Amino acid sequence: MRHLRSALAAFRGRAEDLPPVFEAACRDIVEDLGVSSGSVWFFDEGDGQAIECAALYDARDARVLRGTKLREADSAPYFDALRRERRVVADDAMTHPATACLKNYLLQRDVRSLLDHVVSTGGRAVAVLCCEQGGRKRLWSDPDAAYLEQMAIMLGVAFDLHIETRRRG
C-alpha cells in the first residue's frame, strides 16, 4: 500500500487532492495483488442507480482510464450483491450470478475474475473498489479479500476527511 500511503500523506481533504489518492489505490491493488487492473467507481450521488469509474489503472498497458459508467438497470444482480454483501467475489466473472450481467464490460476488458468491495463513509456506500484479473481466471483468497477490505477502509477515511474539509469550507 505504499502508493496510497504516500498519496494520503499529501492529501489535504480538497476535491482536487482526491484523483491522486484514487490512482495510488489502483496502482497498489495491481502491484500488491498481482492483478491486471484496479479501479475506483463512484455511486451516483442522486439515487445510487449507477457507478462511474473515477480511475482504473491497467497494468497490461500501464495507463489510467476514467469515465466508464455501469447502470443498475442493466446490471441489477451486481448492484444487489454490492448492497447486500458489500463485496463481490467472482472467480469466474462470466458465470457468477452477480457478475454475469456485466458480460459486455467483461468481454471488452478481457476480465475473467472480479473482486469488488464497497467503500463507505458515514454508513453510506459511496464507491466500489475493484480488482480485475484479465486473460485467465483467478481464485480469490481470503487474504486477497481482506487486503481489498482494508484498502476500502482507507479510502473511506479519505472521503470522510474530504467531507469534513468541505463542511468547514
Q: Where do runs of H (alpha helix) occur along the chain?
A: 2-10, 18-33, 76-85, 103-109, 142-168
pLDDT score of 15:
54
pLDDT score of 72:
94
Question: Helix (H, G, I), strand (E, B), or coil: what is residue 69?
Answer: strand
pLDDT in tens, 59-90: 988 888 888 899 999 999 999 999 999 999 99
CB 26, CB 55: distance < 8 Å: yes
Closest CA relative to residue 133, chosen from 67, 57, 34: 34
At 155, is the pLDDT very low, low, confident or very high (cuts 50, 70, 90)?
confident
pLDDT score of 161:
74
pLDDT in tens, 86-117: 999 999 999 999 999 999 999 999 999 999 99
At 34, is the pLDDT very low, low, confident or very high (cuts 50, 70, 90)?
very high
pLDDT score of 79:
96
Provide the whole-model pTM: 0.86
At 122, is the pLDDT very low, low, confident or very high (cuts 50, 70, 90)?
confident
User: Distance between CA atoms of 18 and 99, rounded to whole angstroms?
Assistant: 28
What residue spans define the domains of the chain? 2-168
User: Distance between CA atoms of 66 and 156, rounded to whole angstroms?
Assistant: 20
User: Distance between CA atoms of 152 and 162, rounded to whole angstroms?
Assistant: 15
Q: Quick one: CATH architecture of 2-168?
A: 2-Layer Sandwich (3.30)
